Structure formats: structure tokens, C-alpha cells
Amino acid sequence: MAEPGPAVAPLLEVDDLRVEFRTGDGAAKVLNGVSYHVNAGETLAVLGESGSGKSVTAQTVMGILDTPPAVVLGGEVRFHGEDLLTARPARRMEVRGNGIAMIFQDALSALNPVFTVGFQIAEQLRVRRGLSKADARKGAVDLLDLVKIPHAKQRVRSYPHEFSGGMRQRAMIAMSLALDPELLIADEPTTALDVTVQAQIMDLLRDIQRERDMGLILITHDLGVVAEVADRIAVMYAGRIVEQADVYSLFRTPAHPYTEALLQSLPRLDLKGQELKAIKGLPPSLARIPPGCPFHPRCPRVADRCSQQVPDLHHLPGGRHSACHFAEDLLVSGSSGSNRPDHSRAPRWEED
């Protein structure tokens, strides 16, 4: 029998990342030991409420945090095994765009309003690839074609305000793909878009990812989008990863009360007219995270130890991880169906 080949290293590994913001009101612990990885061709969805640390993690990976007030206290961000946090600024600049690119949440703010969309795309090709002005312009047209912007030869001369919201987001995707990155970070790429345009943008990202075997980190709070496109999910709360699992397992049997509450808050067709199950309370201030498990003031399963001991992110069967003292009990009760949300619409991965 043939010997098994060596394991393929992840494209990106974030390991024990810790970041705080230092302000006049004190230090806010924004990231508290965040760890996850993404492989080539894989989609990792990073899920959580606003303020959970999703975007700050991505900005740290990209090396675009404002320092100060941000301070990276520790951890590693390894791209192809190389720690970017200790790399020289010139090396980080080389990786940014060429290796890792990012789509920002608000395309109108991210694009420069005084330059045409074509100029902004072509500028990367001129500066980073050394292309002539004519070749860079042709490359910009090709990229707008790639993201399915109609009449790309004409629209390359348009300014950002002359595009609709969906077209601006497509232009942002084109700009992020200009240097052919191996990993794309999409930070809330469908926010403020209507449902039809959201689906078009996500279909576009998925098609491009498959064509290029590109890793994708999708930052979102939209569980519907996650169910459609993700391979694995990392759930964040108060600057920590509280659960990681493949998308099928997480939707079927959540192993953390926060994930369970998020799933139970989804609208369901079979409960028409009934009140939605909202998560009680608010996320904690990152400057005053409560002792013990940060979710315990809102948790319906809270016990005495939850307010005293911070649960580690420990391994569970099936390659899953959960930062809950009672994760095993949740899996047992979930597999029996007693606490599992009965979703009326199967995600796409279950229908295939």
C-alpha cells in the first residue's frame, strides 16, 4: 500500500491573535486569542454580531490596522507558513494584493470619488505589475468583464457615483482580483444590497473562487448567506472564537449556546405569525468583558462555573471546536432533536 503523502499546509493560519485598542477611556480587548485557518479553494465564514472582532481580525491579517490606537499584543498570522506580523513592511506590502486581497464593506467609501473606476483598477496593474498605460487599461476592462459589468469598455470611464450599489461592489471585486490573489477576504460584501443583488454577488464570488482555486474568508452576520456558500464556519463573540465546525454540522447541531441562539433567531416559514426568538441583552463592552464565559449574562444555559471560569476552545468529535463548558451536552441534545432548530429551507449544500 502506498505511503500517504504529506499533509497540505493551510493557506492562512491565524494563531492566538490578541489585539487591544488603547484610548483615553482605557484599553478595549478587541481580540482575545483568535485562531482559525483557511485552505486553498475553501470558504471560511466568520460569523458574529457587530463588534465581535470579525473585521479587526481581517484588518490585522491585511496589516491595515491603525496603530495607534490598535496594538497587537501577540499571536501569529502565517501565510504559506510565513508570519506576516514579524515580516518587514516591504514584504507585507508585497503580500497585500498579490497574496491576500480584501473587499471592503462600503464600496462607495472604499473607492476614490475623484478618479474613474477604470483608473483605480489600472493603477494597481501599472504600479505593481509594471504594465504600460494601454495594457493596464485593457486589463481593467477585462476585469470589469470578469465581474460581469455590462459595456465594460464604456463603464471603465465611469466614476464610482455613476454605478449602482451592486455595480460598485462588482467594481470592488474586480479591483481586489487585479493582482490575482490566492486568498480573498470579503467583509460584509452584500450589506445594504437588495436580496436579488446579494445573490448575484455571492454567485459571482463563488464562480471566481472555483475558477481560480482561491481561498475565501467571508465575514458576515447573515446566516442565510453562510448556509449557501460556506464550507466551514467560525463563530465569534466578544473577540473570541466560540465555535468552529463544518457548515452542515453547525447548522444541524450547534455546540455553543450563542450559535444555538443565532440559529433559533432565524425566521421560519412554519412559525408564521409567531414572535421571533431574539437573543436577550447586548454584547459586552470590550473594555469591560465580564469574568468567566463572556456570553454567560445572556446565556439560557448558564451555570455557576460559567461566571467564574473562561472555557477553552476544545476539540469535539468530527473535527469541531467549542468554547463552552457544556458543549458535549449540547451535541447530545442536538443530535436527539430536542433543542435543534427545525429549519424549513435546506441550505444549498444539503440539496446538492
Structural domain ending residue among the three candidates 178, 199, 219? 178
Q: Give pLDDT tens digits for 263-294.
A: 888 776 666 777 778 888 888 888 889 999 99
Residues 165 and 295 both lie in one domain: no
Question: Per the structure, how many domains does the chain have?
Answer: 2
Q: Give pLDDT tens digits for 138-159.
A: 999 999 999 989 999 999 999 9
Q: For residues 159 and 76, is the Cβ–Cβ distance under 8 A?
A: no
Structural domain ending residue among the three candidates 133, 154, 178? 178
Residues 130 and 245 both lie in one domain: no
pLDDT at 9: 80
Amino acid residing at 103: I
Residues 158 and 230 both lie in one domain: no
Residues 236 and 350 both lie in one domain: yes
Angstrom distances, CA of residue 281 to CA of 117, 200, 239, 299, 300: 43, 34, 17, 10, 11
pLDDT at 193: 75
Residues 51 and 154 both lie in one domain: no
The model's pTM is 0.88
pLDDT at 352: 42
Structural domain ending residue among the three candidates 160, 178, 196? 178
Using left for φ > 0, alpha for ψ between -120 and 50, and beta otherwise, residue 112 falls in beta
Domain that holds residue 149: 108-178
pLDDT at 276: 76
| Closest C-alpha among 336, 309, 339, 345 to residue 324 | 309
Residue-wise DSSP of 268-301: -GGGTTSPP-PPPS-PPPTTSPPSS-TTGGG-TT
pLDDT at 337 over 70: no
Angstrom distances, CA of residue 335 to CA of 245, 250, 330, 338, 342: 15, 11, 8, 8, 12
Grid coordinates of 203:
454567485
pLDDT at 7 over 70: no
Residue 3 inside a domain? The answer is: no
Residues 166 and 224 both lie in one domain: no
Tell me the backbone φ, ψ of residue 124, rounded to 5 degrees.
Answer: -60, -40
Q: Give pLDDT tens digits for 73-93.
A: 999 999 999 999 999 999 999
CATH of the domain at 235: 3.40.50.300
pLDDT at 270: 66
Residues 132 and 229 both lie in one domain: no
Could you tell me which residue, 338 or 272, shows the higher pLDDT? 272
| Closest C-alpha among 190, 176, 230, 199 to residue 350 | 230
